[in-house]
Amino acid sequence: MPTPHAHTAYLLLGSNLGDRVVTLHRALLALAEKAGRIVAVSGVYETAAWGKEDQDSFLNQALQLSTDLAPEQLLDACQQVETALGRERLEPWGPRTLDVDILLYDDQIINTERLHVPHPRLPERRFALVPLADIAPALLHPQLRRPVAELLADCPDQLPVEPWLGDL
């Protein structure tokens, strides 16, 4: 009998190089294999690049994951999936085949050299809040003690985040 997964994590996938839809699909399959059971998946959104805006738009998707992995083990699994799908770390906020961010991990607050959870810029990023609100609008941010839907309503970021209308 399989053991129950002990932790709930929320991840954000992003891609703006190559076949973005295929990359997101492959990332979901790889994360299910390496990191745990996918409980919920948001819609796919086309989003303007944030931080370094002179690049192609991203496709973003959030997911809820049930995992037995500790936070840094989950980070390792996410980075392995990024690398397997062609991620090269050439410049901060630069173009990439795949980015996997850990947005939340249970209600933990984690600040290590490698990992900061909740994601420190989550309240400032519509491209993360919109898909997260698809699957967990009432989820409380563990530091701010505010639900995701409220963070989205108050988000200062006004960059476009539109439902992806292409083929899935």
Catalytic residue list contains 96? yes
99 is an active site residue? yes
User: Looking at 20, 54, 56, 87, which residue is catalytic?
Assistant: 87
Give the active site residue among 101, 125, 126, 134: 101
Closest among 31, 88, 34 to 64, alpha carbons compared:
31
Annotated catalytic residue 146:
no
**Which residue, 93, 89, 119, 97, is CA-closest to 30?**
97
Which one of 20, 26, 96, 125 is the catalytic residue? 96
Out of 99, 125, 126, 134, pick the active-site residue.
99
Q: Could you tell me the sign of the dihedral formed by the alpha carbons of 113, 115, 118, 122, in that order?
A: positive
CA distance readout (Å), 97 to 4, 11, 17, 87, 89 = 32, 16, 5, 5, 10
Would you state the structure tokens that stand for residue 102, as one six-digit string? 């850990």
Contact by Cβ (8 Å): 21, 59: yes
Helix then strand then coil, % of the chain, to nearest 5: 30, 25, 45
Is 107 labeled as catalytic in the residue annotation?
no
SS3 state of residue 149: helix
Q: Which residue has the tokens 């991203």?
A: 58
**Which residues are the active-site residues?**
87, 96, 99, 101
